[in-house]
Amino acid sequence: MARSHVTTTVNGDEYEFLCDAEQTLLDVLRDELFLTGTKEGCATGDCGACSVMLDGRLVCACLVLGVEAAGKLIETIEGLAHGDELHPLQQKFLEHNGAQCGICTPGTLIAAKALLAVNPDPSETEIRYWLAGNLCRCTGYDKIIRAVMAAAEEMREGRS
Amino acid sequence: MDEMRYEAPETLDAAVALLAGADGDARILAGGTDVLVLLHSDMIEPGLLVDIKKIPELTSIAVEAGGFRVGAAVSAMELVEHDAFSKAWPGVIEGVKLIGSIQIMGRATMGGNLCNASPAADSVPALIAAGAIGTIVGPEGRRDVPVEDIATAPGETSLGKGEILVSFLFPPRPPHSGDAYRRFTPRTEMDIAVVGVGISLSLDDGGTCQAARVVLGAVAERALLVEAAAAALIGTPLDEAALERLAAAASAACRPIDDKRGTKEFRIKVAGVLARRAAQDALERARGN
């Protein structure tokens, strides 16, 4: 059967691709569009490494089909920095050593950005619950939480 | 294996025709948080996948007959963000919020949670306790069934070939009504219920319980609507004696399995404890409105 022809928008740019019905959005991002910043961890929706925004909602790209991306707005880690200027979350992850092996980092950053969009001043508990779907086997989470809190503070100051 | 075909019809009629006319296994794709995992682990090999999210009836929330009609494919997050629904049914929302991570809630649906038919599904006990009616459309037309009659056993439902669960109708709330969902898990997040209890109740102006529905999850092959547990509350002010009878009736209704998450004995005991706590939560909410 013919592959589906899909047009979608990723980080503000329009992309076209062909995909099989079984292919996930994660497969498409990595293997068809070569946007390899989004990582595969478990591929079953448990680890959050492939977190992306789909029409403004935080989702696991492994649990979305590529064909479902037609006409949607997708945001991935590649869209976080502006040129050489890192997003405050990325900067604070560097400063607080929030990234170690790095596999969970893109998904965690996308999830953290989604949190700060709805809650610019989250408590530590709120951050921990929001990021419960992003597993990290290196940091013990504490550095990630500190980094998100620091970034949130900086972003609040930047707004005021 | 033959290649799988993907279809995303925009009407119910078209979706029913696709499913009813399929040779071999055809599956419905709503949030995909269960079906895509099964698909990619080769536990299912459907020839056809019908995405129902482009059908307006499946994805809308509307006020109807003084209550709410919620599309079966509305995402958990969208339901949680619906202020009026959340205010009317905080217990349903407590269950929906436990379906999974934020990522999973962005996709997972209440219809999928019910039709995946896990006995431990977190949104199901409160959904049944609410007295919601499921609207099902299929080749023979439309039928409305109480939600407790949809999931029948692990992975099994009463839906026939070509039938789609379209929406849930939540009844209007009388004054002094409240609902609640409590579950036990070893972890506070990202875990599967060892026991879950959903309770919905209404009080009269004097504080006496007029109506109650008590539902247990993860203690049988499907969620159990326990009339004896509700009877322990009705006609009482939910005093200590009534809560004691409720706990005993809830425990007595359990027929759980032993597994790595909990023993039979533990589940039976905890069902009673959680029933009591859920009743107290529901009571507090009922008194507040």
User: Do B191 and B268 fall into the same domain?
Assistant: yes
Among the partner residues A4, A59, A111, nearest to B107 by beta-carbon distance = A59
B22: left (phi over 0), alpha (psi -120 to 50) or beta: beta
Mean pLDDT of B91-118: 97
Mean pLDDT of B70-77: 98
User: Do B191 and B211 fall into the same domain?
Assistant: yes
Q: State the smallest CA–CA distance between residue A129 and chain B in angstroms.
A: 7
- Domain C-terminal end among B170, B185, B215: B170
Mutation target among B39, B101, B192 for the A interface, most CBs of A within 10 A? B101
User: Do B38 and B60 fall into the same domain?
Assistant: no
Neighbours of A126 (CB within 10 A): 13
Q: Which residues of B touch A44 (CB under 8 A)?
A: 37, 40-41
User: Do B273 and B189 fall into the same domain?
Assistant: yes
Whether residues A21 and B49 touch (CB distance < 8 A) is answered with yes
Which pLDDT does position B189 carry in this prediction? Answer: 82
Using an 8 Å Cβ cutoff, are B128 and B223 in contact? Answer: yes
User: Do B34 and B111 fall into the same domain?
Assistant: no
Q: What is the mean pLDDT of chain A?
A: 96
Q: State the smallest CA–CA distance between residue B30 and chain A in angstroms.
A: 10
CATH number at residue B40: 3.30.43.10
Nearest CA in chain B to A59: B103
Q: State the smallest CA–CA distance between residue B36 and chain A in angstroms.
A: 6
User: Do B123 and B205 fall into the same domain?
Assistant: no
CATH number at residue B124: 3.30.465.10
pLDDT digits (tens, 9 = 90+) for B118-139: 999 999 999 999 999 999 999 9
CATH number at residue B203: 3.30.390.50
User: Do B134 and B199 fall into the same domain?
Assistant: no
Indicate whether A160 pLDDT > 70.
no
Whether residues A111 and B103 touch (CB distance < 8 A) is answered with yes
- pTM of the entire predicted model: 0.96
Q: How far apart are CA A40 and CA A34, in angstroms?
A: 13
Q: How far apart are CA B102 and CA B92, in angstroms?
A: 17
Whether residues A21 and B189 touch (CB distance < 8 A) is answered with no
Q: Which residues of B touch A68 (CB under 8 A)?
A: 8, 32, 51, 53
Instruction: Pick the more confident residue, B187 or B150.
Output: B150
Band (pLDDT 50/70/90 cuts) for residue B14 is very high
Q: Domains in chain A, please, with CATH?
A: 4-79 (3.10.20.30), 88-159 (1.10.150.120)
pLDDT digits (tens, 9 = 90+) for A45-76: 999 999 999 999 999 999 999 999 999 999 99
Q: Which residues of A touch B102 (CB under 8 A)?
A: 58, 111, 114-115, 130, 132-133
Among the partner residues B4, B33, B107, nearest to A22 by beta-carbon distance = B4
Q: Which residues of A touch B8 (CB under 8 A)?
A: 67-68
Which pLDDT does position B289 carry in this prediction? Answer: 87
Among the partner residues A4, A20, A132, nearest to B101 by beta-carbon distance = A132
- Domain C-terminal end among B170, B186, B216: B170
Q: State the smallest CA–CA distance between residue A94 and chain B in angstroms.
A: 24
DSSP-assigned letter for residue A31 = I
Instruction: State in Å, rounded, how far the first CA of chain A is from the last one.
Output: 55
Q: For chain B, what is the domain count? A: 3
DSSP-assigned letter for residue A24 = B
Q: Which residues of B touch A63 (CB under 8 A)?
A: 31-33, 36-37, 103-104, 107
Band (pLDDT 50/70/90 cuts) for residue A1 is low
By residue count, chain B amounts to: 289
Residues above pLDDT 90, as percent of chain A: 97
Nearest CA in chain A to B75: A57
Which pLDDT does position A2 carry in this prediction? Answer: 72
User: Do B279 and B264 fall into the same domain?
Assistant: yes
pLDDT digits (tens, 9 = 90+) for B214-257: 999 999 999 999 999 999 999 999 999 999 999 999 999 999 99
Q: What residue numbers bound the domain in which B131 lies?
A: 56-170
Q: Which residues of B touch A21 (CB under 8 A)?
A: 3-6, 49
Nearest CA in chain A to B35: A63
User: Do B154 and B88 fall into the same domain?
Assistant: yes
Among the partner residues B3, B36, B102, nearest to A58 by beta-carbon distance = B102
User: Do B61 and B115 fall into the same domain?
Assistant: yes
User: Do B194 and B235 fall into the same domain?
Assistant: yes
Indicate whether A87 pLDDT > 80.
yes
Using an 8 Å Cβ cutoff, are B220 and B210 in contact? Answer: no
Band (pLDDT 50/70/90 cuts) for residue A149 is very high
User: Do B153 and B195 fall into the same domain?
Assistant: no
Q: Which residues of B touch A130 (CB under 8 A)?
A: 102
Using an 8 Å Cβ cutoff, are B101 and B191 in contact? Answer: no
Residues above pLDDT 90, as percent of chain B: 96
Among the partner residues B8, B41, B189, nearest to A132 by beta-carbon distance = B189
pLDDT digits (tens, 9 = 90+) for A97-140: 999 999 999 999 999 999 999 999 999 999 999 999 999 999 99
Q: Which residues of B touch A22 (CB under 8 A)?
A: 3-4, 39-40
